[in-house]
Structure 1
Amino acid sequence: MLNIHSSQKQHAFMPKLATWLLSRLANPAYRDELIGDMEEEYTERQEANQEASYWLLRQTTLAIWDGQKAMIRTTGFVKALSIILCVLALPTIALFVGWLSNMHMPSEHLWQLLMAGEVHFILFNTEYWEIAWNESGVSHLDVMMFIHVQSILWAMVYAVSAYLFLKKIKPSVWIFSAFSMAYILVPYLFGYGVISLFELPPRIVGPILAFMMLAPFFTLPMSVGFLFKGFANCST
């Protein structure tokens, strides 16, 4: 009875918010032990008239930080991040392809950005979003807009490379993610570099822009598939 009363007393002294945060955000590998030790230390500090509130705040913050670092290293976090990236990137690329394919006399500003290959600036331009959504939006999309041989070949090269990389190297989830991200970004960076270095006519810039956008469009879903298949039974 004495031990039960003492344990209940410790829980009463420990602020409920700190306990709640630790129970959800601390490192799950030693979460329960950590809460028990902190409850005991907090109670001893209060009984000894030592500073307890600041100590609890500091220790709770450090424990949450450690827990989140551990969570970020998990395969589950990387998989969730890859799904979010797909949800955000794929519709954005599809809408841009629709706008590019159905474009009629864009403003001088958008045209200059387009001819400079600066798609990243276009996507943060409110004028583009108004035009793309209202005039060249999803209703104007067509399957044939996404048939781009160079981009499909790039995705196939990635598929073979990813398979061999997982089979021969057996990388960590973060190393494989970096490997996949390189394949996703290289077409865009390559195209942007070529357009920036050379003054190319629109008839040449167009196909380069298509490769810059469609290569990641095909590669990104494949990278998610390899991620889930290659790390199906991994939790860390």
Structure 2
Amino acid sequence: MHSKNAQQENHTALPKLVGWLLSRLANPAYKNELIGDLEEEYIERQSAHQETTKWLCSQAMFAIWDGQKAMARTTKFVKVISIILCILALPTIVFFVGWLANMQDPSEQLWQLLVDGKIHAILFNSEYWQSAWNEHGLGQIGLATFINVPGIFWALLFAGASYLFLSKTNSNSWQYGIFALAFIVVPYLLGYAAISALEPEPQKIGPTIAFMVLAPFFTIPVYLVILFGRFRK
């Protein structure tokens, strides 16, 4: 009798790490039931001297994956991703505008990329970041540099389109996020396509470049305001 009780005491619940991960990453809709079922089967497997480590790892990984898929469909996840987009995009645009405003004798490579409208290639060019940092563009940039009527108009157009989209459709936060993302990237795509097709003189690409970068700059904050205002939960 004593040996039997001692044997049962050795059959513990889930390991602490597994329990901690499941309590935070499993699907909240049935998290408690899932942990309870796993604990029961885990103890039964221990009692029957069956393999438990691989089985528990596979079950935990599947539960965590399912939980993360469920979380990715929530409004909270969309808001987090949107905030990250804002944190990454807006300072990058400000830094780029500062570099443009204070650009002095850029290298032939950077100049050619700029003339071709390939801002995406410039941002992934280490020479650009070194040049922008050395020229201290942010310290000499004024608010007037960011005044761009087409960009502001585009943001207002997005606000109106968002109102129609949300009022005429029963869209969730993910669908609205995709809708907003299209509005954010379209100015850049339009500008790049126009420069590639028309091949304007270098002196005339300034307004197009400004629209390409400043339209998203104004649109992203409008998107965040509408997102947090419409989808409160």
TM-score normalised by length of structure 1: 0.92
1:168-187 equivalences in 2 (<5 Å): 168-187=168-187
* Matched residue, 2:83: 83
Distance (whole Å) between structure 2 residues aligned to residue 84 and residue 197 of structure 1? 33
* Matched residue, 2:228: 228
Distance (whole Å) between structure 2 residues aligned to residue 180 and residue 11 of structure 1? 53
* Matched residue, 1:137: 137
Distance (whole Å) between structure 1 residues aligned to residue 10 and residue 62 of structure 2? 21
* Matched residue, 2:162: 162
Distance (whole Å) between structure 1 residues aligned to residue 9 and residue 93 of structure 2? 58
Q: Give the root-mean-square deviation of aligned CA atoms.
A: 1.6
1:100-119 equivalences in 2 (<5 Å): 100-119=100-119
Q: Judging changes above 3 Å, is the alpha-carbon distance between structure 1 residues 75 and 105 closer, same or farther for their aligned structure 2 residues?
A: same
Distance (whole Å) between structure 1 residues aligned to residue 190 and residue 10 of structure 2? 61
Q: Identity of aligned pairs, percent?
A: 57
* Matched residue, 2:23: 23
* Matched residue, 1:64: 64
Kept after mapping to 2: 8 A contact 1:27/1:70: yes
Tell me the CA shift for residue 136 of structure 1. 4.1
Distance (whole Å) between structure 2 residues aligned to residue 62 and residue 170 of structure 1? 32
Q: Judging changes above 3 Å, is the alpha-carbon distance between structure 1 residues 143 and 32 closer, same or farther for their aligned structure 2 residues?
A: same
Q: How many residues align?
A: 227
The runs of 4+ residues in structure 1 deviating greater than 3 Å are 8-11
- Matched to 2:110, the amino acid is L
Tell me the CA shift for residue 53 of structure 1. 1.3
Distance (whole Å) between structure 2 residues aligned to residue 42 and residue 209 of structure 1? 61
Tell me the CA shift for residue 124 of structure 1. 1.2
* Matched residue, 1:14: 14
Kept after mapping to 1: 8 A contact 2:11/2:47: no
**Per-residue Cα deviation, 1:63-86 (whole angstroms, up to 9, x for no partner):** 000011111111011111111111
Distance (whole Å) between structure 2 residues aligned to residue 199 and residue 165 of structure 1? 35
**Per-residue Cα deviation, 1:36-87 (whole angstroms, up to 9, x for no partner):** 1000001111211222211101000000000111111110111111111111
1:53 aligns with 2:53: yes
1:203 aligns with 2:216: no
Kept after mapping to 2: 8 A contact 1:184/1:220: yes
- Matched to 1:164, the amino acid is L
Query: Structure 1: where are the runs of 5+ without partners?
Result: none
What's the secondary structure of 2:12's corresponding residue?
A: helix
**Per-residue Cα deviation, 1:2-56 (whole angstroms, up to 9, x for no partner):** xxx9xx9598242221111111111111111111100000111121122221110
Q: Judging changes above 3 Å, is the alpha-carbon distance between structure 1 residues 44 and 156 closer, same or farther for their aligned structure 2 residues?
A: same
Distance (whole Å) between structure 2 residues aligned to residue 35 and residue 10 of structure 1? 19
Kept after mapping to 1: 8 A contact 2:45/2:52: yes
Distance (whole Å) between structure 2 residues aligned to residue 68 and residue 204 of structure 1? 48
* Matched residue, 1:36: 36
Distance (whole Å) between structure 2 residues aligned to residue 164 and residue 91 of structure 1? 30
Tell me the CA shift for residue 197 of structure 1. 2.1
TM-score normalised by length of structure 2: 0.93
**Per-residue Cα deviation, 1:160-189 (whole angstroms, up to 9, x for no partner):** 111121122131111100000000000001
